[in-house]
C-alpha cells in the first residue's frame, strides 16, 4: 500500500530510500466503508490523507441544504480540509467515502516532525500546495466564464476515470447545477451525436 504513496512523493521530490521509508512510516492506514465519514462539519481535521483505494467526496452543505462538492479524491490523490487542519478550527466540510476505501493519514504533529527532520518534505507540500492553488484558480475561472454545458464536457474530458464512478447527482453537485439541469445537458449532448 505504501508503494503508491512512495511513487507519488517521488514524482515531486527526490529522497533517499531511508528518508522515503521514514516519511511513509509516519502515516497510519485507515479503512473507510462506503457512506462513512472521514470528517464531518464541526470536527477539527487532524489529518492530511493520501487515498490508496476508493473514492471520496469533499463537500459543504449550503444554507439551503444542498450539497456543494469542492472536489473528489480517488487513488493517488491527497485529501484534507486544509483550513481546519492548518488552523485547528472546526471544519465546514464533510469528507465521505463513496466506495469502500483505504487511506493513509498523517497527523499535524507527524507532519511537523517530518518538516524538521526531512527538509525536502516542506518542498513536497509546497509543490502540492501550488498545484492545488492552480487547480482551484482554474476551477473558479471555469465557473465564472463557462456555461454548465462546457463545464460538464470539461469534467468528462479531464477526469474520465472519475466520471465513470460517480452518479449524476454527484456530478451535478460538483458542477453547481441541479440534477434536472444536468439531465437536460446530457440529452442535448446526446442529440448532437
Residue 47: what pLDDT? 97
Residue 54: what pLDDT? 97
Quote the cell numbers at residue 13. Answer: 521530490
3-state secondary structure of 156: helix
3-state secondary structure of 123: helix
pTM of model > 0.95: no
Residue 42: what pLDDT? 97
Residue 143: what pLDDT? 87
Query: What does the alpha-carbon distance between residue 71 and residue 22 come to, in Å, rounded to a whole number?
Result: 30
Q: Which CATH number fits domain 2-117: 2.60.120.10, 3.40.50.1220, 2.60.40.10, 3.30.465.10?
A: 2.60.120.10
The angle, 0 to 180 degrees and rounded to 10, between the axes of the packed helices 179-192 and 148-158 is 80
Query: What does the alpha-carbon distance between residue 130 and residue 144 come to, in Å, rounded to a whole number?
Result: 21
pLDDT, mean of each 10-residue run, the chain (193 residues): 90 95 96 98 97 97 92 95 96 98 97 94 94 91 91 91 89 90 88 71
Residue 17: what pLDDT? 94
Amino acid at each position: 500500500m505504501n508503494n503508491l504513496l512512495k511513487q507519488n512523493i517521488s514524482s515531486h521530490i527526490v529522497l533517499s530510500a531511508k528518508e522515503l521509508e521514514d516519511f511513509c512510516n509516519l502515516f497510519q492506514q485507515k479503512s473507510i466503508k462506503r457512506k462513512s465519514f472521514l470528517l464531518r462539519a464541526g470536527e477539527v481535521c487532524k489529518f492530511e490523507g493520501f487515498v490508496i483505494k476508493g473514492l471520496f467526496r469533499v463537500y459543504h452543505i449550503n444554507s439551503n441544504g444542498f450539497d456543494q462538492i469542492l472536489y473528489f479524491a480517488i487513488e493517488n490523490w491527497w485529501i484534507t480540509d486544509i483550513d481546519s487542519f492548518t488552523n485547528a478550527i472546526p471544519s465546514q466540510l464533510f469528507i465521505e467515502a463513496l466506495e469502500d476505501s483505504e487511506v493513509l493519514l498523517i497527523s499535524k504533529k507527524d507532519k511537523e516532525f517530518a518538516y524538521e527532520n526531512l527538509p525536502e518534505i516542506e518542498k513536497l507540500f509546497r509543490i502540492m500546495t501550488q498545484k492545488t492553488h492552480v487547480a482551484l484558480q482554474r476551477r473558479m475561472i471555469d465557473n465564472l466564464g463557462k456555461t454548465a454545458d462546457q463545464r460538464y464536457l470539461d469534467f468528462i474530458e479531464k477526469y474520465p476515470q472519475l466520471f465513470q464512478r460517480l452518479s449524476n447527482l454527484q456530478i451535478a453537485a460538483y458542477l453547481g447545477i441541479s440534477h434536472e439541469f444536468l439531465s437536460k445537458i446530457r440529452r442535448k449532448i446526446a442529440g448532437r451525436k
